[in-house]
């Protein structure tokens, strides 16, 4: 149960705690998870969260597919993941218990809404008997049964709400109780409820506040013998913070990138989990000149973005794996015409429709090779929710500076997960300088910058720069050319241009010593767990370092040297070994792949175990 330290007064002080709220998707678990997060953030903890939605919009209440959960890890130290396993589980009904109990740490706290353990509900959750009657439950966990329904209704008996509406407040009872257990402030939440609902539904807002308090006082009055915990403020860098999810950060980064490059942003997408919210959020930023188009499909979406880029906007499109398949042909066109274009893939589980609401990082090889012919384009990846901001800006930088389409890989875990973020100063962000061609007719379509090999765009509306582009092979002047030598030359230029992008990368950061026994080499959303595992082992004195790549294609120029400094290279991925294929073919290095394909992030302990194995070899 967390990392226990000193016992102060009646409180146990913990360094980190992992809590999971689980219930029916109608029970409001995401809402209270968000509230718990905000008050912990405001209190000053570092934290990371991960919501886990059901695949169905609203599966029948009480069923297993209908279970919705929200996990948060918060602490007084740096928090990199939402946590391996919950120290405390709140289960609002039997189905939630059925799905989530197996993850609860032994000895962990288990809060259940006993009222929900009716025969009908038990049956829907495939329980043959009531698990609360199982003595093992009490011996293995700190079981706290609360008739949440009853107390909720009791506390609202003075109000005029219907019985159904009363019961809808029960999530706040659970939240209040957990606030009490973890000695969190509740004012923050009260303010939030007032602000959000007072106007639309004042009676409900007040009811929620009443129930929240009831939950809190329930702890205080009836459970004085109960353990309570304290988690101190985290020692983090001073600054202004906000909470941010991956897709939010991506959206803000795109807008910031476009501003820094002085281009109008044109985003065109087609809804798909977990990328839809990028389109949704961007459509709220019209006052930044952002134009959004909900296209008829993913092909159209990228086509609109390409048209936008041709006409001088910064064209951006985003999707998930199945949509990436559909964009392949157009990516080839953008590659051939060398137009700037940002293509975002928020990855999810596959193949095919796969596991649309689970995370996976299995579209890397598609990003690198998923088009016909030799059509090289850069690929970069975000590594944490807040890092999506920087990654988006980096994508805009590369796309414009090198006049190239670029693929940005994020994933469902990053997109939906959230963490506190120390907000950078916008003035501190470099401008992205790649002007369009001068007007007046001295324009050569594929004339190139000597260093970057990038071409310069001329855009419709510019006098004298009229020109034609297209998907047929062409010569420097932009004329269609079937000449064999020209084709070979253009193909080499495209390849070389990709390579040159690596010259613009900062030196690769190594976490830990620059040489040693094991280097953990990774990319994408696994950053948090890997960094947590490696840091912990470094603190224990083990010879392990890690490098987490943002730039996957091309890879950094200094990577080979870094790899050479280690005896073994461990490549953990949430796929069957895709970075591994790239590393092996590019560096001929006998890496050790470590793969998990369960639609779920790595646990820190899975990684430490694996690293230990390697160290013992």
Partner 1 sequence: MATETIEENPLTKKDFVTPNDVRWCPGCGDYAILNSLQRTLPELGIPKENYVVVSGIGCSSRFPYYMNTYGFHTIHGRAPTVAAGVKVANPDLSVWMITGDGDGLSIGGNHLMHALRRNININILLFNNRVYGLTKGQYSPTSPVGTRTKTTPTGSIDNPLNPILFALGAEATFIARTIDTNPKHMIETFKAAQAHNGVSFVEIFQNCVIFNNKTWDPVYGRQSRDDNMLFLKEGEPMVFGKEEKKGIVWNGSQPEVIPLGDATPEEKGVMIHTPDRPGSLYTAMLAEMTHPEFPTPVGTLRQVEKPTYDAQIQDQVQEAIDSQDGKPDLQGLVNGANTWII
Ligand X SMILES: Cc1ncc(C[n+]2csc(CCOP(=O)(O)OP(=O)(O)O)c2C)c(N)n1
Q: Which residues bind ligand SF4 (CB under 6 A)?
A: 57-58
Is position 470 an interface residue for ligand X (rule: CB under 6 A)? no
Q: Return phi, psi of residue 293, to 5°.
A: -125, 120
* Residue nearer to its own copies on the CB measure, 146 or 579: 579
Residue 411 half-sphere exposure toward CB, CA atoms < 13 A = 29
Given its own copies, ligand X, partner 1, none, residue 540, with its beta carbon under 5 to 8 Å by kind, binds none
Residue in 44, 289, 322, 599 binding ligand X, rule: CB under 6 A: 322
Residue 137: burial class (beta carbons within 10 Å; 0-12, 13-18, 19+):
middle
Taken as a whole, the chain contains a residue count of 617
Given partner 1, ligand SF4, its own copies, none, residue 255, with its beta carbon under 5 to 8 Å by kind, binds partner 1
Kind of pairing, strands 46-52 and 67-75?
antiparallel
Helix H, strand E, coil C: the string for 552-588 is EECCCCCHHHHHHCEEEEEEEECCCCHHHHHHHHHHC
* Residue nearer to ligand SF4 on the CB measure, 58 or 233: 58
Beta carbons of 251 and 282 less than 8 angstroms apart: yes
Is position 271 an interface residue for ligand X (rule: CB under 6 A)? yes
**Interface positions, 274-303, toward ligand X (CB under 6 A):** 298
Beta carbons of 94 and 117 less than 8 angstroms apart: yes
Given partner 1, ligand X, ligand SF4, none, residue 310, with its beta carbon under 5 to 8 Å by kind, binds partner 1
Is position 333 an interface residue for its own copies (rule: CB under 8 A)? yes
Is position 321 an interface residue for ligand X (rule: CB under 6 A)? no
**Least CB distance to ligand SF4 at residue 97 (A):** 25
Instruction: Return the ∠ at Cα 82 (arms to 354 and 182), rounded to 5°.
Output: 140
Least Cα distance to 411 among 381, 380, 386 occurs for 381
**Interface positions, 451-490, toward its own copies (CB under 8 A):** 470-473, 482, 484-485, 487-488
Contact flags string 19-58 toward its own copies, x per CB under 8 A? ------------------------------------x---
Q: Return phi, psi of residue 408, to 5°.
A: -110, 120
Given partner 1, its own copies, ligand X, none, residue 554, with its beta carbon under 5 to 8 Å by kind, binds none
**Least CB distance to partner 1 at residue 145 (A):** 28
- Residues 242-268 as b/e (b if ≥16 CB within 10 A, e otherwise) read ebbbbbbbbbbbbbbbbbbbebbbbbb
* Residue nearer to its own copies on the CB measure, 436 or 576: 576
Is position 415 an interface residue for ligand X (rule: CB under 6 A)? no
Is position 464 an interface residue for ligand X (rule: CB under 6 A)? no
* Residue nearer to ligand X on the CB measure, 298 or 580: 298
Please give the DSSP secondary-structure letter assigned to residue 261. Answer: H
* Residue nearer to its own copies on the CB measure, 238 or 588: 588
Residue in 215, 323, 478, 556 binding ligand X, rule: CB under 6 A: 323
Given ligand SF4, partner 1, ligand X, none, residue 294, with its beta carbon under 5 to 8 Å by kind, binds partner 1
Give how far Cα 241 sits from Cα of 35, 260, 397, 424, Å.
16, 22, 25, 9
Kind of pairing, strands 379-381 and 551-553?
antiparallel
Sign of CA dihedral 173, 174, 180, 183: negative
**Interface positions, 519-578, toward its own copies (CB under 8 A):** 575-576, 578
Residue 574 half-sphere exposure toward CB, CA atoms < 13 A = 26
Residue 119 half-sphere exposure toward CB, CA atoms < 13 A = 0
**Interface positions, 325-354, toward ligand X (CB under 6 A):** 326, 353
**Interface positions, 67-106, toward its own copies (CB under 8 A):** none
Least Cα distance to 607 among 551, 541, 553, 544 occurs for 544
**Least CB distance to its own copies at residue 464 (A):** 27
Three-state DSSP class for residue 414: helix
Residue in 325, 459, 536, 592 binding its own copies, rule: CB under 8 A: 325
Given ligand SF4, its own copies, ligand X, none, residue 271, with its beta carbon under 5 to 8 Å by kind, binds ligand X
Contact flags string 580-609 toward its own copies, x per CB under 8 A? xxx-xxx-xxx-----xxxxx---------
Least Cα distance to 21 among 229, 154, 191, 182 occurs for 182
Is position 337 an interface residue for its own copies (rule: CB under 8 A)? yes
Least Cα distance to 551 among 498, 601, 597 occurs for 498
Neighbours of 42 (CB within 10 A): 16
Beta carbons of 32 and 55 less than 8 angstroms apart: no
Q: Which residues sit at the interface with ligand X, rule CB under 6 A?
A: 270-272, 298, 322-323, 326, 353
Residues that bind its own copies (CB under 8 A): 55, 65, 320-322, 324-326, 328-329, 332-333, 335-337, 345, 347, 349-358, 360, 362-363, 365-366, 368-375, 470-473, 482, 484-485, 487-488, 491-492, 494-495, 575-576, 578, 580-582, 584-586, 588-590, 596-600
């Amino acid at each position: 149960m967390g990392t226990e330290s000193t016992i102060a007064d009646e409180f146990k002080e913990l360094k980190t705690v992992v809590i999971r709220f689980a219930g029916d998707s109608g029970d409001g678990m995401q809402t209270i998870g968000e509230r718990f997060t905000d008050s912990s953030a405001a209190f000053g903890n570092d934290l990371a969260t991960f919501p886990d939605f059901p695949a169905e919009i609203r599966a029948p209440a009480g069923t297993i597919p209908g279970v919705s959960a929200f996990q948060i890890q918060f602490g007084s130290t740096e928090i990199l993941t939402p946590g391996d396993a919950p120290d405390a589980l709140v289960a609002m009904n039997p189905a939630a218990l059925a799905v989530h109990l197996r993850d609860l740490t032994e000895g962990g706290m288990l809060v259940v809404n006993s009222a929900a353990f009716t025969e009908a509900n038990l049956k829907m959750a495939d329980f043959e008997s009531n698990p609360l009657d199982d003595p093992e439950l009490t011996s293995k966990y700190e079981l706290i049964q609360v008739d949440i329904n009853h107390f909720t209704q009791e506390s609202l008996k003075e109000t005029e709400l219907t019985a159904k509406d009363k019961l809808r407040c029960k999530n706040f009872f659970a939240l209040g109780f957990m606030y009490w257990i973890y000695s969190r402030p509740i004012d923050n939440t009260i303010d939030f409820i007032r602000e959000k609902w007072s106007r639309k539904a004042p009676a409900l807002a007040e009811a929620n506040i009443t129930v929240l308090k009831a939950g809190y006082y329930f702890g205080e009055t009836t459970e004085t013998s109960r353990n309570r915990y304290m988690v101190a403020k985290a020692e983090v860098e001073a600054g202004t913070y906000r909470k941010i999810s991956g897709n939010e950060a991506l959206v803000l980064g795109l807008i910031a990138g476009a501003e820094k490059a002085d281009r109008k942003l044109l985003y065109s997408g087609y809804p798909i989990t977990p990328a839809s919210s990028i389109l949704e959020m961007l459509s709220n930023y019209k006052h930044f000149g952002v134009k959004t188009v909900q296209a008829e499909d993913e092909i159209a979406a990228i086509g609109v973005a390409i048209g936008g880029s041709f006409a001088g906007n910064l064209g951006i499109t985003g999707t998930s794996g199945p949509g990436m398949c559909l964009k392949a042909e157009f990516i080839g066109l953008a590659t051939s015409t060398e137009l700037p274009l940002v293509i975002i893939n928020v990855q999810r589980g596959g193949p095919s429709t796969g596991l649309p609401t689970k995370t996976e990082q299995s579209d890397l090889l598609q990003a690198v090779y998923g088009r016909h012919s030799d059509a090289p384009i850069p690929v970069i990846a975000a590594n944490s929710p807040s890092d999506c901001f920087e990654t988006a800006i980096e994508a805009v930088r590369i796309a414009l500076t090198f006049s190239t389409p670029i693929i940005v890989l994020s994933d469902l875990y990053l997109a939906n997960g959230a963490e506190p973020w120390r907000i950078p100063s916008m003035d501190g962000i470099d401008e992205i300088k790649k002007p369009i061609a001068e007007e007046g007719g001295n324009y050569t379509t594929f004339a190139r910058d000597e260093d970057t090999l990038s071409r310069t765009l001329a855009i419709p509306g510019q006098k004298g720069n009229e020109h034609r582009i297209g998907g047929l092979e062409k010569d420097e002047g932009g004329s269609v050319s079937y000449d064999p030598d020209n084709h070979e030359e253009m193909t080499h230029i495209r390849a070389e241009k990709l390579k040159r992008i690596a010259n613009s990368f900062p030196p690769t950061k190594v976490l830990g010593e620059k040489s040693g026994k094991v280097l953990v080499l990774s990319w994408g959303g696994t950053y948090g767990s890997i960094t947590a595992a490696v840091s912990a082992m470094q603190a224990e004195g083990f010879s392990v370092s890690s490098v987490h790549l943002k730039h996957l294609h091309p890879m950094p120029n200094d990577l080979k040297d870094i790899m050479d400094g280690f005896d073994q290279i461990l490549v953990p991925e949430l796929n069957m070994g895709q970075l591994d294929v790239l590393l092996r073919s590019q560096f001929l290095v006998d890496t050790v792949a470590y793969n998990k394909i369960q639609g779920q992030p790595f646990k820190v302990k899975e990684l430490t175990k694996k690293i230990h194995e390697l160290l013992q070899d």
